[in-house]
Structure 1
């Protein structure tokens, strides 16, 4: 497949601001249209405020790039070679498998260094911890999807409809968790396994695919120091790149403050990636999510019928 994509590069001052190897089979079949409507314009994500940064030596953000996801462009040289937009010593920080109880620690480390990342959320995890995912959004980070249940989409036991459901239901779950705010049309395949027919499908849906330039292998690390050592060794060899990490893992959360300081000391700069337009979820999967996932619902009963004072 040939990727039709555009990069609009916007300069920015130093603004402040696939390791869980389990998978599940999609629950039910769901058909999807052959092509998505053209993306509609949207307000850009909230900027990370320079004024909010109290660290004069923060890593910060060197520039912001806006991604036109028309046609499903691919990023990350491990699988996609066409769009080499990072300059020497530029990095993009990416985090998979959240939201999780470790995610707030990752958010704090990023906030302390006034910098940002892309969070590829698992749909089920988004339904477990919607308030944590809302914290990711409130902090100004970009949020994409990592399927509904972290199923490996090259699994031959999955039908094509089930593969599509993993993709679509994942985005619908993230949107639900964000209170109806559509995430970025950014997607990462679990285990970086890219079935060709799903690559083509994402192109019809105008959803960008993310591989990586270097994998931290944090899911294999015995401790935080190993996460730091592996990441910096690979990065110093490549000189730039999209870094794959997991906010799902304790060692990553523990490693991040030191890792970010090492990036700063090594002359590396963080690039923020935002979409030109949000993803357009499909109503079929939005409805299926609400029907099948047994999500929390808001009671419409008056307070007096739920809470009564029996002693004072």
Structure 2
């Protein structure tokens, strides 16, 4: 495997961003508490399968590693400075999971095409279904965060401290569910980017993800509509970061056909990783644990609980 490194300049106020690209075989799976130091990311969990059983799979065309220093933004819907995708390249992204049935359906479709995505889970959902989020990681996908409760951070009733708590508690919840910190990637709910939180993400060295192609799967009445929406938009843009939701039933239903259409259309999937891991903040780690519904241990002796009345 030949590895190349490309350096892309940012605006003067943001640090330089290095994007490393690694060619991958097409069908292979391949107290200010706000500034904890970045440390090297641990290796991701091994995918469930080491070889692709589908010789005609969409696969992964290349892998990029993002240096999140300074909080770079991606997706032309909101951020115009960085465009690392080549013509006919896409990044698959999924918001709002993990969720029973729907998230496993998305994972299955991705596995069948031996390709990878970025998942942005809601913190609450992660605490409700940690086993599903662990499965996402075990299949080799990148996991970021999507706040604690999916609150609109542009809501004027929220203070900046409350916005930060939404972000940080979401990160801590994903960390609790996985057993380790997520990638320093975030997508703001409803793609609402308050300027103060954009600045805060820069301080925290967390990359922000908008999109180039919105599937509007949450509005679609059926799977066919999702496929048509994505492909029609891609035919105009020629490439892009695709926004979908593994929370939505129709998305899992649409994904097998969508991936086949991407392959037929000559599109290639880029897998995205982070160069460093994200350090959560202890205060919010503790809040997540305190809020979990832990089983109550009954200390009564057996004889006071169970009595034989007939034998």
Q: So what's the TM-score if we normalise by structure 1?
A: 0.88
Deviations 1:161-182 (A, max 9, x none): 110000000000001011x211
> Distance in 1 between the 2:234 and 2:93 partners?
14
Q: Where does residue 203 of structure 2 map in the other structure? A: 204
> Distance in 1 between the 2:41 and 2:210 partners?
25
> Distance in 2 between the 1:69 and 1:110 partners?
26
Q: Where does residue 249 of structure 1 map in the other structure? A: 248
Q: Where does residue 54 of structure 1 map in the other structure? A: 53
- Once the two structures are TM-superposed, the CA of residue 8 in structure 1 deviates from its matched residue by 1.6
> Distance in 2 between the 1:300 and 1:283 partners?
30
> Is the Cα contact below 8 Å between 2:123 and 2:169 reproduced in 1?
yes
Match of 1:9 among 21, 41, 44: 21
> Distance in 2 between the 1:106 and 1:87 partners?
25
Deviations 1:115-146 (A, max 9, x none): 01000000000011110000001000000100
> Is the Cα contact below 8 Å between 2:133 and 2:177 reproduced in 1?
yes
Evaluate the alpha carbon distance shift between residue 47 and residue 290 of structure 1 in structure 2; reply closer, same or farther with a 3 A threshold. closer
Moved more, 51-60 or 66-75: 51-60
- Once the two structures are TM-superposed, the CA of residue 12 in structure 1 deviates from its matched residue by 1.7
> Distance in 1 between the 2:82 and 2:154 partners?
24
> Distance in 1 between the 2:99 and 2:36 partners?
32
> Distance in 2 between the 1:97 and 1:298 partners?
30
Taking the TM superposition and a 5 Å limit, the aligned residue runs for 1:80-119 are 80-101=79-100, 102-119=102-119
Q: Counterpart of 1:242 in 2: which secondary structure? A: strand
Query: What RMSD in Å do the two structures reach over aligned CA positions?
Result: 2.3
The answer to whether 1:181 aligns with 2:192 is no
Q: Where does residue 74 of structure 1 map in the other structure? A: 73
Evaluate the alpha carbon distance shift between residue 247 and residue 279 of structure 1 in structure 2; reply closer, same or farther with a 3 A threshold. same
Evaluate the alpha carbon distance shift between residue 204 and residue 295 of structure 1 in structure 2; reply closer, same or farther with a 3 A threshold. farther
Q: Counterpart of 1:219 in 2: which secondary structure? A: coil
Evaluate the alpha carbon distance shift between residue 201 and residue 86 of structure 1 in structure 2; reply closer, same or farther with a 3 A threshold. same
| Paired residues, number | 291
> Distance in 2 between the 1:300 and 1:206 partners?
45
> Distance in 2 between the 1:144 and 1:138 partners?
15
Q: For structure 2, which runs of at least 5 residues remain unmatched after alignment? A: 1-10
- Once the two structures are TM-superposed, the CA of residue 50 in structure 1 deviates from its matched residue by 7.6
Deviations 1:167-207 (A, max 9, x none): 000000001011x2111010000000100000000110010
> Is the Cα contact below 8 Å between 1:188 and 1:209 reproduced in 2?
yes
- Once the two structures are TM-superposed, the CA of residue 42 in structure 1 deviates from its matched residue by 2.5
Q: Counterpart of 1:273 in 2: which secondary structure? A: strand
> Is the Cα contact below 8 Å between 1:44 and 1:276 reproduced in 2?
no
The answer to whether 1:294 aligns with 2:307 is no
Q: For structure 1, which runs of at least 5 residues remain unmatched after alignment? A: 18-31
- Once the two structures are TM-superposed, the CA of residue 6 in structure 1 deviates from its matched residue by 2.1
> Distance in 2 between the 1:235 and 1:116 partners?
18
> Is the Cα contact below 8 Å between 2:127 and 2:292 reproduced in 1?
no
Q: Where does residue 21 of structure 1 map in the other structure? A: none
> Distance in 1 between the 2:263 and 2:49 partners?
17
Evaluate the alpha carbon distance shift between residue 296 and residue 89 of structure 1 in structure 2; reply closer, same or farther with a 3 A threshold. farther
Q: Where does residue 3 of structure 2 map in the other structure? A: none
> Is the Cα contact below 8 Å between 2:48 and 2:138 reproduced in 1?
no
Deviations 1:57-99 (A, max 9, x none): 0000000000111110100011011111100000000000000
> Is the Cα contact below 8 Å between 1:3 and 1:74 reproduced in 2?
no
> Is the Cα contact below 8 Å between 1:69 and 1:185 reproduced in 2?
yes
Q: Where does residue 169 of structure 1 map in the other structure? A: 169
> Distance in 2 between the 1:241 and 1:194 partners?
20
> Distance in 2 between the 1:237 and 1:98 partners?
29
